[in-house]
Structure 1
Amino acid sequence: MSACPVPRIADCFHDLVDPRIERTKRHQLLDVVTIALCAVLAGAESWVEVAEWGEIKLPWLRTWLKLPNGIPSHDTFGRVFSRLDPEQLEQGLVRWARLLATEAAGADEPTGIVAIDGKTVRAARHPGQRAPHLVSAWSSANRLVLGQVAVDDKSNEITAIPRLLRQLDLTGQTVTIDAMGCQTAIAAQIVAQGGDYVLALKENQPDMLRDVIDSFALADPEHQTTTKEKGHGRLETRTCRTIDDAAVIAWLNPTGAWPGLRTIAQVVGQRQIGETCVQHTRYYLSSLPGDAHAIAHAVRSHWGIENQVHWVLDVAFREDGSRARVGHAAANLALLRKLVLNLLRADPTRKVGVKASRLKAGWDDGYLLHVLGVTLAQ
């Protein structure tokens, strides 16, 4: 693999294993990845658009990439990314996210909420097969995507989440996961990695759910906080109650199957629009102390992955319409989108939205290099 003039691409993706046969290689793997990343940053949303952007920008790209055989075809981009091991590309995303998080914090990566959640890329489904499902980790402290793993065809999020957690430094972090991840083994892994957890509790843990509901019916919650939000014609009220009484927790967790369990929480939400009022109640298990404000903050922060990541990927990147579906192409293209989202979120000079910033990167070569953190010699 040749040296790359973009230091962070070289640092973060230096150990990618080229899946191609040696005699078929006309383009360096790191060049293929670099062009694809730049094109997605500049607004490309398919391999055809990646190749077209490269052809238009070829004279400029040759000022800092050798490209002896020009720009790869869209078929080449598709083949390479369909065969490239996504776990290796995931490691590059994790490395770059750590660099950005460290810079944002000044020296140390900030503590905060790490939300784990899954998303299906619906248009990338093959007939007769399920659509690719990706599980991501998102930091509420700096709004960066910290990692991503693809769910295997014959498994589910329960097996994917531990792989994702292993990529992350959870020291001092609070991990939030929806009910699919409310598993004793996942709780144990989070605690073993130095983190805390707030896990949504639903019917997939029927005995624990029943006992927690009974606990709130029989015992007075020790801590409570209520928040109200008004806007867009609706009033939302959320009340978080917690119990961290040692006797109650011991009754719920007699064998210690839930490592670190200290608190159970009940969050009652009420949404009123005009005369219509809808109420729902959710329950949580947590290793945090029973501070209702802290639990409510973690629950509220978890929803950020929906509107700060999933929604942005659909609106600004049209991810749900992406038809990259062969092999690992969907997972790898999603990784490039998340890396671009991180780069734009980390840009302190950005004054417009993500979609407009991508357009700007497509129009202004200098801005594109700025976002990548590159200064070329004049």
Structure 2
Amino acid sequence: MMTPETDSSLVGHFSMLEDPRDALRRRHNLLDMVIIAIAATLAGADGWVAIAQFGRAKEVWFRQFLELPNGIPSHDTFGRVFSLLAPDAFEACFRAWVASIRTVIPGEIIAIDGKTLRRSHNRAKGLAALHLVSAWATANRVVLGQVATDAKSNEITAIPQLLALLMLKGAIVTIDAMGCQTKIAEQIIDQGGNYLLALKGNQGVLAAEVEEAFIEADAKDYAGVESEALDTVERGHGRIETRRYRTLGELSGVPRSALWKGMNMIGMVESTREIAGKISRETRFFIGSIGTGVVDFGRAARGHWGVENDLHWSLDVAMREDDCRVRETQARENLAVLRHIAMSRLKNDSTKLGIKNKRLKAGWDEQYLEKLLFDAPPSAGQNAPSGSPNISRG
């Protein structure tokens, strides 16, 4: 059997975590508690009571590789210790594991997005719901890092903190309209990455300039300008979705582009969705430093939308994150890290099951749980826009 010290393992990266407790009062090893918590979360536990119950049910198995000098800690002990544990230190161990197994893919999409944990507020103590800004590597399918804030409006300050934790060289960073800020774009370029930022009302004048530039280019059938288009069609689950991705490198009609470091293109996505005979249309605009190659643009735009399905939806549906009622500040952040650890590991497991059923299997099958804890996951491939492509230039 492998041990927690194995370099390529998930749990091996938590052995250097500093214990915040008084040394004379410790009855349980911190690493034992962390491994039990990770294992239990992989197997479906969603809070301290469930984590402690899982530990007791699997105590004989855990004793094969944990010390457990005083047995399995109580749920109160788990809650108390994780409320003392510094979330940034806990998450740093997780990031170290991600760095050890992540395949560096040129042009990988790193999607930055925020999510509010709806039931994490505590009105009695004046504690707002926890809002997490996370970085999701779309090809490797792992969370690269997270920063906690107490409001969605604070994403503008949280995003630079999160970016500073990441290795961006060669990556394309995508952010929704909240992060469409000149300083954020500059930071991404300075860290060696490129960006694709969504445009909305918070950049009203720039958005109007971009839309007008496309109107003028379209009126001339994009003659004499650097531009590419890509059409995709997707069918499934009773719906048909068509998308046209269009890039434009002619920025003379976008004077505010001079304010954005590295900006060399604008993008437009026209989407049409047909469900049961009903048709809806939507047009989105973007700015970026990725050039006018439409395949990269389409991959980046779709990659960012994928964070909703690949990460947030899974956290809500498979891990019931929005139902979590842990409200102590550091404990709720650390529990969110545990969910991200579990989600990243399960997403990178090749077993042909959904996340919910993988968690059930981890609870039933000790060999499978051991593999998740102690084996390095396989490398991930790179995603491209799905559907039937048809690229045109000019």
Question: Is contact 1:200–1:284 with CA below 8 Å preserved after alignment?
Answer: yes
Match of 1:105 in 2: none
Three-state SS of the structure 2 residue aligned to 1:242 is strand
Identity across matched positions, percent: 48
Q: Which moved more, 1:126-135 or 1:48-57?
A: 126-135
Match of 2:133 in 1: 135
For structure 1, the 5+ residue unaligned runs are: 103-107
Q: Aligned match of 1:341 in 326, 340, 343?
A: 343
In structure 1, what residue type is equivalent to 2:121? R
Three-state SS of the structure 2 residue aligned to 1:219 is helix
Match of 1:71 in 2: 72
Match of 1:312 in 2: 314
Question: Is contact 2:129–2:151 with CA below 8 Å preserved after alignment?
Answer: no
TM-score of the superposed pair, with normalisation by structure 2: 0.86
Three-state SS of the structure 2 residue aligned to 1:169 is coil
For structure 2, the 5+ residue unaligned runs are: 377-394
Offset at 1:60? 2.2
Offset at 1:152? 4.2
Offset at 1:11? 4.5
Offset at 1:119? 1.1
**Residues 300 and 374 of structure 1: CA distance in aligned 2, closer, same or farther (over 3 Å):** closer
User: How many positions carry a matched residue from both structures?
Assistant: 364
Q: For residues 113 and 368 of structure 2, what CA distance do their matches in structure 1 show?
A: 31
Q: Which moved more, 1:82-91 or 1:22-31?
A: 22-31
Three-state SS of the structure 1 residue aligned to 2:66 is coil
Three-state SS of the structure 2 residue aligned to 1:197 is strand
In structure 1, what residue type is equivalent to 2:62? L
1:77-132 residue CA offsets vs partner (Å, 9 max, x unmatched)? 11111221111112112111122223xxxxx4554111111111112221254211
Question: Is contact 1:101–1:110 with CA below 8 Å preserved after alignment?
Answer: no
Question: Is contact 1:5–1:65 with CA below 8 Å preserved after alignment?
Answer: no
Match of 2:110 in 1: 114
Question: Is contact 2:11–2:374 with CA below 8 Å preserved after alignment?
Answer: no
Q: Which moved more, 1:238-247 or 1:15-24?
A: 15-24
Q: Aligned match of 1:226 in 206, 225, 231?
A: 231
**Residues 46 and 6 of structure 1: CA distance in aligned 2, closer, same or farther (over 3 Å):** farther
Q: For residues 71 and 113 of structure 1, what CA distance do their matches in structure 2 show?
A: 41
Q: For residues 176 and 290 of structure 1, what CA distance do their matches in structure 2 show?
A: 16
Offset at 1:292? 2.4
Is 1:182 the counterpart of 2:180? The answer is yes
Q: For residues 160 and 169 of structure 1, what CA distance do their matches in structure 2 show?
A: 17
Q: For residues 228 and 151 of structure 2, what CA distance do their matches in structure 1 show?
A: 43
In structure 1, what residue type is equivalent to 2:241? E
Question: Is contact 1:100–1:346 with CA below 8 Å preserved after alignment?
Answer: no
Offset at 1:18? 2.4
Match of 2:13 in 1: 12
Question: Is contact 1:114–1:176 with CA below 8 Å preserved after alignment?
Answer: yes
Match of 1:87 in 2: 88
Where in structure 2 are the equivalents of 1:258-273 lying within 5 Å? Answer: 258-273=260-275
**Residues 75 and 242 of structure 1: CA distance in aligned 2, closer, same or farther (over 3 Å):** same
Q: For residues 318 and 355 of structure 2, what CA distance do their matches in structure 1 show?
A: 6
Q: For residues 44 and 59 of structure 1, what CA distance do their matches in structure 2 show?
A: 18
Question: Is contact 2:251–2:257 with CA below 8 Å preserved after alignment?
Answer: no
Q: Aligned match of 2:206 in 205, 208, 212?
A: 208
TM-score of the superposed pair, with normalisation by structure 1: 0.90
Offset at 1:10? 6.1
Q: For residues 319 and 257 of structure 2, what CA distance do their matches in structure 1 show?
A: 44
Question: Is contact 1:362–1:368 with CA below 8 Å preserved after alignment?
Answer: yes
1:121-175 residue CA offsets vs partner (Å, 9 max, x unmatched)? 1122212542111111111212222211212469611111111111211111111
Match of 2:42 in 1: 41
Q: Aligned match of 1:243 in 242, 245, 248?
A: 248
In structure 2, what residue type is equivalent to 1:200? A
